[in-house]
Amino acid sequence: MLVRELAIPGVERMRGLRRTLSLLCGVSAFVVVGAAEAGAVAEQFRSGAFGLPWSASKSAIQAKYPGGRWDKDDGGTDRYCAASRQPLLGLPAQHQTRELCFLVGGDGTMASATARMDATLPSLLAVVNRSRTRFGDFDAVKRDEGAIQSRFTYMMWTKDSPIVVVVGSENDADGRPSMVAFTVADEATLFTTGAEKVSNRPSGGK
């Protein structure tokens, strides 16, 4: 559920990577203006996400989105995923969700909701820019720093923890996005463990 940077071999492809990272992480004037008017994460998701309250049980999740499947994530947490096409963050129709996945916490209620989108660079740029417009700049990040070419990145909005937003992506060995996802959670530790706090202020900014 996190954002993998595009690992692209070759000089020309590395230039493309730098341009991509600039688009993702550069602070532009329109983003700053939008963020000033944006609502906080807690204000938008205090009551829940994707039509479900944080108190939703397994049966309530499955009833809302039937036809899905139950399994466990890498940490052993119960997960339910179902196909669902719906608008996300007011983005254009081409950036609708493709699948929703829900994690169930230790208390038996919904702990997080993740929208998986088309695994494309336009989808990634769209959800990152819209999130920064609505919530301001992300303040934490997780990525595979030990790799020569980073294969994943998770940008996080944690200021309203325990309610957090995560935009994540992964890419394959050829540098193509293989996953783009938007997550909202009310159990921050499911996603923030190991994350590094970051600042997006321009050098010399106040």
pLDDT digits (tens, 9 = 90+) for 129-165: 999 999 999 999 998 766 556 688 899 999 999 999 9
Helices in 52-200 by DSSP H: which ranges?
A: 58-64, 121-135, 189-192
CA 185 to chain centre: 10
Q: pLDDT at position 203, please?
A: 56
CA–CA–CA angle 15, 16, 18 (5° rounding) = 65
What are the domain boundaries of the chain? 11-197
Helices in 27-109 by DSSP H: which ranges?
A: 29-36, 41-45, 58-64
What is the tens place of the pLDDT at every residue in 61-113?
Answer: 999 999 999 999 988 999 999 999 999 999 999 999 999 999 999 999 999 99
